[in-house]
Structure 1
Amino acid sequence: MLIVARGRKPVEPQPNNMILAEWVMERWVQGAILEASDPRLGGDFEVEEMELVLMLGLLCSHSNPVARPSMRQVMQYLNGDATLPKVMADAIGPGMFSVGSSEYNEYLSSFGQLNRKGLL
């Protein structure tokens, strides 16, 4: 979801091996999560929907699998059948992407595999 909302690859070697999820997290911590939306959209989107997609993208990228929502929950949030609970939003925070952790390395590796298969 972050890839679609931002229009960028999940990991870009320049500048400085930018990790999309970390970059979006920084914007969220700064209170400016909408800055993470694709600038080519020119702001032509529903603000609440973009915020939801970005927040869900962060939750789905969480280094702790237990903190990630199930696909059923994701679909309920996207369809408007459920609202993102406050406790889920609180699960997002600085340090959720631990550089050097096995989850982080697995995250990077998975995108390398997708790229080699031509899926990114």
Structure 2
Amino acid sequence: VEWNETLISSVLPSAYTALLLEMKAQYPNKVTAQTLYNLLPRLSTTTGRWHKVAVNVWNNLKLFPIFYSQVAEKLLQFHEIVVTNSLNSPGMEDSLTVIQTLTDLGTPLATLPLHVWDSLQK
């Protein structure tokens, strides 16, 4: 049982990460950022042992360029982007001005699907 849990919590996240990255590398014109986003685990809906797997997948993926920046027009690592999701929340009346200013400065902005943004914040 302990062996199985180790496989699930350690090996499976690395294998899934490798699968996603290999798919992106083999089919760069077919695998879009949206395709990758759709294949990412949703931390808000996974539970139990699968939640641990999902967390480990996310921890792995943060190190790779899978986040699309509209400004840079390419995939970047998480630490390289500025996520604009929080600028689109209620009470941010000046968000368009902020986004335009950051765009003009060449800041690598990225608007992420809600499940991706939620998972990154956990």
CA radius of gyration, larger in: 2
TM-score (norm 2): 0.29
Structure with bigger strand share is 2
